[in-house]
Amino acid sequence: MDTREILEQVKKGGISVEKAEKLLRGASVEEMGYAKLDMDRDARTGFPEVIYCQRKTDEFLVSIFRKMLERYGEVFGTRASDHQYQIVREAIPEVVYDPVSHIIKVEKADKERIGRIAVCTAGTADISVAEEAAQTAEFFGSAVERIYDIGVSGIHRLFAHMEEIRSANCVVAVAGMEGALASVLGGLVRNPVIAVPTSVGYGASMNGLSALLTMINSCANGIAVVNIDNGYGAGYLATQINRLAVRGIVAEDDR
Amino acid sequence: MDTREILEQVKKGGISVEKAEKLLRGASVEEMGYAKLDMDRDARTGFPEVIYCQRKTDEFLVSIFRKMLERYGEVFGTRASDHQYQIVREAIPEVVYDPVSHIIKVEKADKERIGRIAVCTAGTADISVAEEAAQTAEFFGSAVERIYDIGVSGIHRLFAHMEEIRSANCVVAVAGMEGALASVLGGLVRNPVIAVPTSVGYGASMNGLSALLTMINSCANGIAVVNIDNGYGAGYLATQINRLAVRGIVAEDDR
Amino acid sequence: MDTREILEQVKKGGISVEKAEKLLRGASVEEMGYAKLDMDRDARTGFPEVIYCQRKTDEFLVSIFRKMLERYGEVFGTRASDHQYQIVREAIPEVVYDPVSHIIKVEKADKERIGRIAVCTAGTADISVAEEAAQTAEFFGSAVERIYDIGVSGIHRLFAHMEEIRSANCVVAVAGMEGALASVLGGLVRNPVIAVPTSVGYGASMNGLSALLTMINSCANGIAVVNIDNGYGAGYLATQINRLAVRGIVAEDDR
Amino acid sequence: MDTREILEQVKKGGISVEKAEKLLRGASVEEMGYAKLDMDRDARTGFPEVIYCQRKTDEFLVSIFRKMLERYGEVFGTRASDHQYQIVREAIPEVVYDPVSHIIKVEKADKERIGRIAVCTAGTADISVAEEAAQTAEFFGSAVERIYDIGVSGIHRLFAHMEEIRSANCVVAVAGMEGALASVLGGLVRNPVIAVPTSVGYGASMNGLSALLTMINSCANGIAVVNIDNGYGAGYLATQINRLAVRGIVAEDDR
Amino acid sequence: MDTREILEQVKKGGISVEKAEKLLRGASVEEMGYAKLDMDRDARTGFPEVIYCQRKTDEFLVSIFRKMLERYGEVFGTRASDHQYQIVREAIPEVVYDPVSHIIKVEKADKERIGRIAVCTAGTADISVAEEAAQTAEFFGSAVERIYDIGVSGIHRLFAHMEEIRSANCVVAVAGMEGALASVLGGLVRNPVIAVPTSVGYGASMNGLSALLTMINSCANGIAVVNIDNGYGAGYLATQINRLAVRGIVAEDDR
Amino acid sequence: MDTREILEQVKKGGISVEKAEKLLRGASVEEMGYAKLDMDRDARTGFPEVIYCQRKTDEFLVSIFRKMLERYGEVFGTRASDHQYQIVREAIPEVVYDPVSHIIKVEKADKERIGRIAVCTAGTADISVAEEAAQTAEFFGSAVERIYDIGVSGIHRLFAHMEEIRSANCVVAVAGMEGALASVLGGLVRNPVIAVPTSVGYGASMNGLSALLTMINSCANGIAVVNIDNGYGAGYLATQINRLAVRGIVAEDDR
Amino acid sequence: MDTREILEQVKKGGISVEKAEKLLRGASVEEMGYAKLDMDRDARTGFPEVIYCQRKTDEFLVSIFRKMLERYGEVFGTRASDHQYQIVREAIPEVVYDPVSHIIKVEKADKERIGRIAVCTAGTADISVAEEAAQTAEFFGSAVERIYDIGVSGIHRLFAHMEEIRSANCVVAVAGMEGALASVLGGLVRNPVIAVPTSVGYGASMNGLSALLTMINSCANGIAVVNIDNGYGAGYLATQINRLAVRGIVAEDDR
Amino acid sequence: MDTREILEQVKKGGISVEKAEKLLRGASVEEMGYAKLDMDRDARTGFPEVIYCQRKTDEFLVSIFRKMLERYGEVFGTRASDHQYQIVREAIPEVVYDPVSHIIKVEKADKERIGRIAVCTAGTADISVAEEAAQTAEFFGSAVERIYDIGVSGIHRLFAHMEEIRSANCVVAVAGMEGALASVLGGLVRNPVIAVPTSVGYGASMNGLSALLTMINSCANGIAVVNIDNGYGAGYLATQINRLAVRGIVAEDDR
């Protein structure tokens, strides 16, 4: 119900003033002690809430996993430690954990994956972040192609995969150190490049700040930058774009 | 002609080895004294080359405007000064100049504009950058809705425009000072938000670095950040997304 | 009218659904071309909108000064240049301009000034920012005591004014260079100290960033920091505190 | 006794020159080995000295807890580790420890709590800092309302609590990542907002520096910024403001 | 009169309580409109107040020059522009101005200069700052030896002057760019080296911050760093050390 | 085969179009799961691929060591931990490990070492990085002279080795803290100085950033800067220069 | 004469002790008022002193140009303004000035140019810095090939020039914005790449700091970084390497 | 022997050319494997070499302690861990260790301590650094007065010790957090203040950088800044100044 519908209902007595007030104030929030689960997020943004595991206490983590699983029939957590996996598994035996991406999840079996996203990395050390991006996009229903270790110090490796990259609806470029991969890709493709700086590097890389600056200052166009090591954010954004490409404007009607 | 076609032609003698070598090495570059115009860009990326006017000498600027206009029948320059406009107008009387966005252009008259992009600003001082974004997107064929001065210090102004914002294929959020607008929008919409930090502010805003950091660290999802004051980059990226939404994957065939 | 009242009115047919929708969406915004004046701000925050003159075009500046003056019977603009003063004065002959604080205003003649705020500076070069703070607070109805040039390099100057400082409801400490004044004051008074770093200094002062860091890291308690050179913000915050001290909780009823 | 009283006493021989000299030089300092307890602080600032436990040696910690408890009948320590709690509890069995806020204290049983402070957080990870703020304010005699997990990525959660927030004498906004909560609150309330950036975040959050910059550059007014993770400082400042609101200027007489 | 003397006088009625109170509160401050001249500085620190001309208004500058000249029979101003010189000369015809150091002064004719300070620069562009240091030290009564253009890119130039440098009571090392001169000198001399980073350089010199960091991190010992371009501060500090060397502890009696 | 040769072969039917396409796309990449070994690097750059051990998993590390050893008959890994050495040694018993440089390698026995590179350090704590540089250069076939602990705080130590330093084809200057060694050397030698800042230092050294800035801003000429602690990069670059000096332009024919 | 020769001469009475002392202390310095010309530089480093014109006074500039021209029969000045050119030309009519590189010089007519250096730029705005590098190298006797406008946003332009680049003894890569050109070149060539970040860019490019960080963190090997906009330093370093390649070790004898 | 004496000896055959060459080149260096002990430092600077223990290997540490003890009859090491103390004690049973300052030493029993240095701290957490300064100065023969915990949040504590502070030849001000202590002291004393920023603090203190900036930008004069936590450097510099005050210029003869 949008505002107008609520008002119409109030007018004709369909709902009480109290109920209407609550609806207008966002009754879709579920209070969990100190946390306020954003149960309306799915309707509003097209994506369910996801669990950022880092810093969460064991007890709270388990209860939030349960709540989500109950509501959506699946659940997705990022930045989980092995310890957290053990804890959650005791409560929810069907969870699976990937130690590379640090993702812990229960995923519906027969999920359709649409469109195409290319996830690329400069080096092998960037794969951890790239997998967070790839698996996030997959969980949200995108088909993903992984093209790893194609950094600019051996640029022929990149050209050998040019067609796969160019045919994606969206390219995710994951790179640490000087992060030049995003610029090179940006100059070669037609669709958006989501640039993910990583904290891979040492010295003046300043834990990824240098790669972030490289990407923000890219001389190529069509480069969308997210935070350092933010694979999740890249997978989310890539899915938004991929969905638009597949569903197009007609998908608007569903909103 | 792609690599395989060139090779096939070589094999059957359709083109000489010398010609083939030249084609493989990028013969689509047009040498203009020191500059190398990237005449293949349109085919490769779907966007023609655009002229970044700042720091260009008068003489070079005029010749490059002429070259582009000749090739594409239209031409688009950003960050042009009033002086540069005077200079170019002497050679190309039909150019028009917008002192707010600092854009100078000749645009085809009957251009179709597809889809929908919402360009929002936090304050009125951000409009200069927003117009660069909006006019860039329009030049590239996108329909644009402008929603200005809806910053978070009076957030009801934003809510009054929620429907227009939510129905766009892509939202451009232009904000200086603390740049919080992008986060608020990101939490409310379904499609990507392109965040453009501006140099509007003083003191610890550090000419836009603070707003850039805000946007990169956004707790909302689906935020794609570009460089400070980079309206052009935002308009380009927004058009890529908008095109995908309208043309979808079938558009692939045209490439 | 708050949400509930609007709903009650809808229910009993006092207002139409359309009107209600508009009210709920923030109808108190006045569209001025690209700008959206926040006419509800006074009711919501207790302060009218103020004009930040920097970067505003001549034409827009005059029209916004007129609009505000019309609505409130007075108007207050900060960071105005002498040129802007000339422009506004042509349209509104009664405006006055202070070249030290760069404030341009029309102020009601018989304004009551309540409570007490002490505005202190470390040096004479900080007075420009201090006057912005002091005059802002006065415009918003606070009584202000100015105590300038009492920096820590000659700390006996500060002690000679200790009683005036301690008897204020709120102290504004304006300092550039190393900004130590705020810490010293913070250790000596009972009420909040609003610390305003200024861009006064050179070399490693980095245009006020160093003073800002000093104030944020203060070992004293009760230090509230605002942006570099943000005299207006300090005057606003000081007035909020001063009003609470004078009007107390009973003022709540007026909200 | 203030300076004049001391001098009067000297004149009439009520106290010796030596005694007077000592009084003028701050005899209210209690030497504890290397430390100098500021026993006059209560009188001067209205707040007793509080113990910052971090980096303190076990032995010194216990002796200072004892000294404070003896003098004030209660004692309050921040940033205490579990180990420090164990050590102090051996000496003072009645101490209590909160592992969330890392506060260790003995508090008088029948303390009155005046006024109202709203302590808000953007996310659940910010609660540790928020609790330091809330419990500090409570220890100093303020009534506190906790409103957690209302960050801008789901802004309807904030609006659902608008009335509680607006009715507080002072709002504490605790947020990490991009820290946009403070700006949104600042535009919606009448009383001061104390912004506490937290080190929650990763990558370009730079351990809270990014949130600090956001808050310092806020386009909203009435934002008072304190150091990263400085819950204690926020609780102190909030109490100063809350006391002014409740006790008003008449409280001046007690000073 | 120190505190005890004042108290003794109060006791025996030599001075009134009011007078004593004023004395204890720092009656040596001379109010000049907004400024508070620190007339006691000479007695307290051994140095008269000096005028920092930058940002001072013409009118105020002239009046403060007059006040100082009247009191001390000489006057010393730093960072003066040619315009300021013209203004002051109209009022005080005997002032002299050095466009290299930007110092404007009236100096007593027969001043004795004691001890020895060596002022060294890395390049010729650093001389402006070096002269500020040298002339400041001379004004305060030190004998100064200038040794310019001995930077480490041609280190034999430095060695050719080793004896003069080593025989000084204090060495001032003025250097921009990478600022290595201070470290080399520090390893070669017996007495303190005052390191003055300058804003000479470009690119990553960041207006002197790089040289400042070099000097602060020096692997040599006995390096005392002052602010970027702070020739005045270096001349002051050098004079303090030079005086100690010449007058020694017996000078204590004069204090 | 270069492009022309491939085309000639295609023309005369020597190779198929498919084969030619593959060759042009960089078929010299060896896929190892996620990694793409750059087997063409040797031919392209004159240097084999080297293994950066940090962050590599045990399993992957062993397989890549085996692959390299198989192909080149020797293998070289940097930044290896003692644990990684143990793991690799189980698979390849002949590997040797140097705990100072953290290099793990199998090196051919009878390698010729040409030319001369001088590797210098400012202090003893810089030796770890210097050894990485020296052993890298030696592995790549350069003769290396080590001259350690000659920092500028005792500059006579440097002069005592001047002839050895000046006679090298290339000097590597390894220094932390303020990094002044590079500037002093740059002013004294004829050939390039490769400056390696190290993370040795504390406080404002900011883990080597300060030394990096010093070196980048050097007033001496012929200073080539690499990343903080990047001994490997320095050894590589020094070898390139050393090879040019020994083999000269005639060596071009071998390429 | 080196140290031993001087000592031998002293022993056999060939020179006096005074003369020997002077020689050992660097008698090759020519005092020019405050400046100390390093007349020994040519012998020590193989390069004559060059004049950095910025900040030099007119009078001093002319005298130093005269001195150099007299001694070397040619003279080379960088960063000269048009005004400085006019001034110098009055005294030395044969000087020539290039407004692109800001170089002012008198060059011997029949200079031989050896070897080959490739100077590349990413964009046309980088040409000013590139020309400083190219003309410096030419003045010092190197043959230079210019390859401009081959930045990574259209990477086929770079590949079209691969052979010229690969055949140079040294490549200078001049790039602003994100500076990715250096990394791409580094992965493709055999000889050293000298990376020159430029201040071309805006926003987060921070006047070239971002490009500098990119280059320092390059994942490619053989990258030697110099200061932002330091074309002169790159031309100097490139000449050192080029000379080694042409003259090889046998050139040692001339030293 | 200085240069002239060596030359005279060569002339009259007192020493051989070889011996002379060695002497001129700094024969006072003692090679210890990779380290070069600077045995001439005492003569050159008036201070013996001191051992910076951090990062030194156990074996090397013991040998260097032995070497120093042997030469000087005493030895002084800073930043030693408890582990290092255990190791050294096994070899040299008479060493003593202070866990507060992390100093390990053997000190001659009957050392005279001259003059007076006041070492002050802002808080108790700064004492560790202050003790490094104090004990260093004592080892080098200075008398030290410790005045701890007198930070500006309770400034009366400082005034209570004003006389002791003012009567010192040199004041060391040790402070973390915002580091305001140095400025306050600088305005109150006659002799130099050596400011030592410490890493005490959190959040925006950035491990002492904020305090460093405060001290560098001090509005007070006579402030000499050293690196963060550099107690040793402060003790060294203070001793240089103290010696000058006690021994004066006549001490020159001993050099």
Instruction: List pLDDT tens digits, range D213-248.
Output: 999 999 999 999 999 999 999 999 999 999 999 988
Plot region of C172 (φ>0 → left; ψ -120 to 50 → alpha; else → beta): beta
- Which amino acid makes up residue H98? D
At residue D37, the pLDDT reads: 74
At residue F192, the pLDDT reads: 97
At residue A44, the pLDDT reads: 82
Chain E nearest-CA distance from F137, in A, is: 27
At residue E2, the pLDDT reads: 66
Contact H45 E222 (CB under 8 A): yes
Is residue H181 within 8 A of residue H171, CB to CB? The reply is no
Separation between Cα atoms, residue F189 and residue F185, nearest integer Å: 6
Digit-coded pLDDT (tens) for A139-154 = 999 999 999 999 998 8
Separation between Cα atoms, residue A175 and residue A195, nearest integer Å: 8
In D, minimum Cα distance to E13 occurs at D11
- Host H or E run for residue G70: helix G58-72
Q: G129 falls in which pLDDT band (50, 70, 90)?
A: very high
The mean pLDDT value of chain E amounts to 90
Report the number of secondary-structure helices (H) and strands (E) in chain E.
11, 11
Say yes or no: G154 contacts chain H, CB-CB below 8 A.
no
Say yes or no: E28 contacts chain C, CB-CB below 8 A.
yes
More confident site: E155 or F118: F118
* Top mean-pLDDT range of B29-38, F186-195, H51-60: F186-195
The token pair at B152 is: 């978070």
Interface of B with A in 103-122 (CB under 8 A): 115
Beta partners for residue B36, in sequence order: B31
Is residue A23 within 8 A of residue A3, CB to CB? The reply is no
The separation between CA D11 and the C-alpha centre of its own chain, rounded to angstroms, equals: 41
At residue E251, the pLDDT reads: 40
At residue F250, the pLDDT reads: 45
In G, minimum Cα distance to A185 occurs at G153
At residue H108, the pLDDT reads: 93
At residue E127, the pLDDT reads: 95
Is residue G250 pLDDT above 60, yes or no?
Answer: no
- Among D52, D142, D221, most C C-beta atoms within 10 A, so best to mutate, is D221
Is residue D179 pLDDT above 80, yes or no?
Answer: yes
Q: Give me the mean pLDDT over the C207-227 stretch.
A: 96
In this structure, how many other beta carbons lie within 10 angstroms of the beta carbon of residue C10? 25
Task: Put the strands of the sheet holding G170-175 in their side by side order.
Answer: F142-147, F114-121, F170-175, F193-197, F223-225, G223-225, G193-197, G170-175, G114-121, G142-147
Is residue H41 pLDDT above 70, yes or no?
Answer: yes
At residue B165, the pLDDT reads: 95
Backbone Cα Rg of chain B: 21
The mean pLDDT value of chain F amounts to 90
Is residue F82 pLDDT above 50, yes or no?
Answer: yes
Q: What is the ipTM metric for this complex?
A: 0.89
Chain A nearest-CA distance from F138, in A, is: 23
The token pair at G114 is: 């050896």
Is residue H176 within 8 A of residue H195, CB to CB? The reply is no
Contact A11 C7 (CB under 8 A): no
Contact E211 F203 (CB under 8 A): no
At residue E253, the pLDDT reads: 41
Chain B residue numbers with beta carbons less than 8 Å from the beta carbon of C28 are 156
More confident site: C87 or H10: C87
Tokens 């909020």 belong to C240
Q: G2 falls in which pLDDT band (50, 70, 90)?
A: low
DSSP annotation of G153 reads G
At residue G74, the pLDDT reads: 95
Is residue G3 pLDDT above 90, yes or no?
Answer: no
Lowest mean pLDDT across A54-63, B171-180, B199-208, F116-125: A54-63
At residue A146, the pLDDT reads: 97
| Nearest CB to E221; choose among H167, H233, H246 | H233
Chain E nearest-CA distance from D7, in A, is: 6
Chain D residue numbers with beta carbons less than 8 Å from the beta carbon of A34 are 124, 127, 146, 148-149
- Host H or E run for residue C184: helix C181-186
Is residue B24 pLDDT above 80, yes or no?
Answer: no
Chain E residue numbers with beta carbons less than 8 Å from the beta carbon of C200 are 55
Chain A nearest-CA distance from B125, in A, is: 22
Strands F103-106 and F96-98, how do they pair? antiparallel
- Host H or E run for residue A234: helix A231-247
Q: G27 falls in which pLDDT band (50, 70, 90)?
A: very low
User: Comparing C-alpha atoms, which of E191, F17, C36 is closest to residue B148?
Assistant: C36
- By residue count, chain E amounts to 255
More confident site: D249 or H235: H235
Chain F nearest-CA distance from G131, in A, is: 18
Contacts of residue D153, Cβ cutoff 8 Å, sequence gap at least 6: A38, B183, B186, B187, B218, B219, B220, B221
Is residue F141 within 8 A of residue F116, CB to CB? The reply is no
Digit-coded pLDDT (tens) for H140-197 = 999 999 999 999 988 888 988 988 999 999 999 999 999 999 999 999 999 999 999 9
| Nearest CB to B4; choose among F3, F4, F17 | F17
Contact E229 C203 (CB under 8 A): yes
| Nearest CB to F237; choose among G217, G224, G247 | G224
Subunit partners of chain G (3 or more CB pairs within 8 A): A, B, E, F, H
Is residue D59 pLDDT above 70, yes or no?
Answer: yes
Is residue E133 pLDDT above 80, yes or no?
Answer: yes
Q: At what angle do helices E209-216 and F209-216 cross, to 10 degrees?
A: 120
Subunit partners of chain A (3 or more CB pairs within 8 A): B, C, D, F, G
Q: Give me the mean pLDDT over the B137-155 stretch.
A: 94
Q: G1 falls in which pLDDT band (50, 70, 90)?
A: low
Is residue C122 pLDDT above 70, yes or no?
Answer: yes
Contact D190 C246 (CB under 8 A): no
Digit-coded pLDDT (tens) for F205-251 = 999 999 999 999 999 999 999 999 999 999 999 999 999 999 886 44
- Among C4, C10, C22, C23, most A C-beta atoms within 10 A, so best to mutate, is C10
Separation between Cα atoms, residue E173 and residue E151, nearest integer Å: 10
The token pair at B21 is: 């070598």
At residue E169, the pLDDT reads: 97
Contact E204 G28 (CB under 8 A): no
DSSP annotation of G123 reads S
Contact F7 B17 (CB under 8 A): yes
| Nearest CB to F154; choose among H38, H54, H208 | H38
Residue % of chain H over a pLDDT of 70? 92
Chain C nearest-CA distance from D212, in A, is: 9
Say yes or no: G223 contacts chain F, CB-CB below 8 A.
yes
Is residue B251 pLDDT above 80, yes or no?
Answer: no
Contact F192 G221 (CB under 8 A): no
| Nearest CB to A225; choose among B189, B216, B222 | B216
Digit-coded pLDDT (tens) for D200-210 = 999 999 999 99
Contact H25 F156 (CB under 8 A): yes
Q: D66 falls in which pLDDT band (50, 70, 90)?
A: very high
| Nearest CB to F148; choose among H34, H207, H227 | H34
At residue F253, the pLDDT reads: 41
| Nearest CB to D153; choose among B151, B183, B206 | B183
The model's pTM: 0.91
Is residue C86 pLDDT above 80, yes or no?
Answer: yes
Beta partners for residue H174, in sequence order: H121, H196
Chain H nearest-CA distance from D55, in A, is: 7
Q: B249 falls in which pLDDT band (50, 70, 90)?
A: low
Is residue A88 pLDDT above 80, yes or no?
Answer: yes
In B, minimum Cα distance to G126 occurs at B55
Q: Give me the mean pLDDT over the A218-241 stretch.
A: 97
Chain A nearest-CA distance from G216, in A, is: 7
Is residue C23 pLDDT above 80, yes or no?
Answer: no
Q: A250 falls in which pLDDT band (50, 70, 90)?
A: very low
At residue E1, the pLDDT reads: 61
Q: Give me the mean pLDDT over the D88-101 stretch.
A: 96
Digit-coded pLDDT (tens) for C160-208 = 899 899 999 999 999 999 999 999 999 999 999 999 999 999 999 999 9
Tokens 């808000």 belong to D120
Is residue C46 within 8 A of residue C243, CB to CB? The reply is yes
Say yes or no: B99 contacts chain C, CB-CB below 8 A.
no
Interface of E with C in 198-217 (CB under 8 A): 199, 207-209, 212
In B, minimum Cα distance to F23 occurs at B3
Contact A35 D148 (CB under 8 A): yes
Tokens 């440089």 belong to F101
Digit-coded pLDDT (tens) for F128-159 = 999 999 999 999 999 999 999 999 988 888 98
Is residue D154 within 8 A of residue A35, CB to CB? The reply is no
Say yes or no: A177 contacts chain G, CB-CB below 8 A.
yes
Instruction: Please spell the DSSP secondary structure of C17-74, one letter per residue.
Output: HHHHHHHHT-TTEEEETTEEEETTHHHHHSS---EE-TT--HHHHHHHHHHHHHHHS-
At residue F251, the pLDDT reads: 40
| Nearest CB to H7; choose among G4, G13, G17 | G17
At residue D1, the pLDDT reads: 61
Chain H residue numbers with beta carbons less than 8 Å from the beta carbon of D209 are 204, 206
At residue B160, the pLDDT reads: 84
User: Comparing C-alpha atoms, which of C47, C19, C22, C59 is closest to residue C232?
Assistant: C47
Subunit partners of chain F (3 or more CB pairs within 8 A): A, B, E, G, H
**C-alpha distances in Å from residue H137, one per residue of E6, H70, H126, H234:** 37, 22, 17, 8
Separation between Cα atoms, residue F157 and residue A198, nearest integer Å: 42
- Among B21, B34, B216, most G C-beta atoms within 10 A, so best to mutate, is B34
Chain H residue numbers with beta carbons less than 8 Å from the beta carbon of C204 are 213, 216-217
